[in-house]
Amino acid sequence: MKKLEQLYEGKAKKVFATDVENVCIVDYKDDATAFNGLKKGSIAGKGVVNNRMSNFLFKLLEAKGVPTHFVEEISDRETAVKKVEIVPLEVIIRNIAAGSFSKRYGVEEGTDLAVPTIEFSYKNDDLGDPLINDYHALALKLATWEEIDTIKKYAFKVNEVLKEYFDKIGVILVDFKLEFGRDRSNGGKIILADEISPDTCRLWDAVTKEKLDKDRFRRDLGNVEDAYNEMFARLGLDK
């Protein structure tokens, strides 16, 4: 597969065209941003961790029946993925209260939730990705009911698969963000896209409750690289 011209540069990834129809190459950067781009920095080696961790988890999810955009790992930082039209919703699943949920509802971080929850944010940087409900998403034509139903079903399935897997490596899956896309080469079928990494999940050590994710960067907790490398090692990707 040939890597052709750059199509897009985001906060953490670049996307390139390829000579294969409906396939792009994603190239993961070490750049880190938080608070809608207000905080900027770099986390050495993050691109490698996020690329390889995301691919590892997408393969696991595919095996468990969740369709994804994953095609092939090209290098430590590059992956071939199916070209999709991204549904402009950030889909957030929570098992334990943290971050904006704790703040919004006045619940202490670390409080177990009685059931896993789902929420949507409207992917719109100018508006600061506001919280949105499923009726609003339908009213704004961001997705159809059928797509929203499929997204909910897959998101909870991802939670079940990942919770079980992380539990085995001594990691608590607190919450995470997913993005889905429409596979136009396959009738607009909804598939999991974007990434699953310490940038997009809250991951706590099961024993010490130490944070092994991007909160170390957001909250200036130090040892940011160590946290990403620890997740990499726990997944056995350092060997």
When the beta carbons of 129 and 205 are compared against ligand UDP, the nearer one is 129
We find the least distance from the C-beta atom of residue 238 to ligand UDP, in angstroms, to be 23
How far is 149 from 176, CA to CA, in rounded Å?
A: 19
When the beta carbons of 123 and 189 are compared against ligand UDP, the nearer one is 123
How far is 158 from 153, CA to CA, in rounded Å?
A: 9
How far is 171 from 107, CA to CA, in rounded Å?
A: 22
We find the least distance from the C-beta atom of residue 18 to ligand UDP, in angstroms, to be 26
We find the least distance from the C-beta atom of residue 162 to ligand UDP, in angstroms, to be 12
Q: Is the separation of the CB atoms in 18 and 200 below 8 Å?
A: no
Which residue number has the CB closest to ligand UDP?
99
When the beta carbons of 68 and 200 are compared against ligand UDP, the nearer one is 200
Element at 95 (helix H, strand E): strand 89-96
When the beta carbons of 18 and 53 are compared against ligand UDP, the nearer one is 53
The structure tokens listed for 102 are 């704790």
How far is 59 from 211, CA to CA, in rounded Å?
A: 25
102-107-111 Cα angle (round to 5) = 95
When the beta carbons of 99 and 116 are compared against ligand UDP, the nearer one is 99
When the beta carbons of 10 and 170 are compared against ligand UDP, the nearer one is 10
The structure tokens listed for 153 are 């079903």
Binding site for ligand UDP (CB under 6 A): 90, 92, 98-101, 129, 175-177, 200-202, 214
How far is 153 from 167, CA to CA, in rounded Å?
A: 21
We find the least distance from the C-beta atom of residue 147 to ligand UDP, in angstroms, to be 20
We find the least distance from the C-beta atom of residue 119 to ligand UDP, in angstroms, to be 8
Burial of 8 (0-12, 13-18, 19+ CB in 10 A): exposed
**Smallest Cα–Cα separation from 18: which of 37, 1, 39?**
1
When the beta carbons of 18 and 89 are compared against ligand UDP, the nearer one is 89
Q: Is the separation of the CB atoms in 87 and 190 below 8 Å?
A: yes
We find the least distance from the C-beta atom of residue 189 to ligand UDP, in angstroms, to be 24
We find the least distance from the C-beta atom of residue 157 to ligand UDP, in angstroms, to be 18
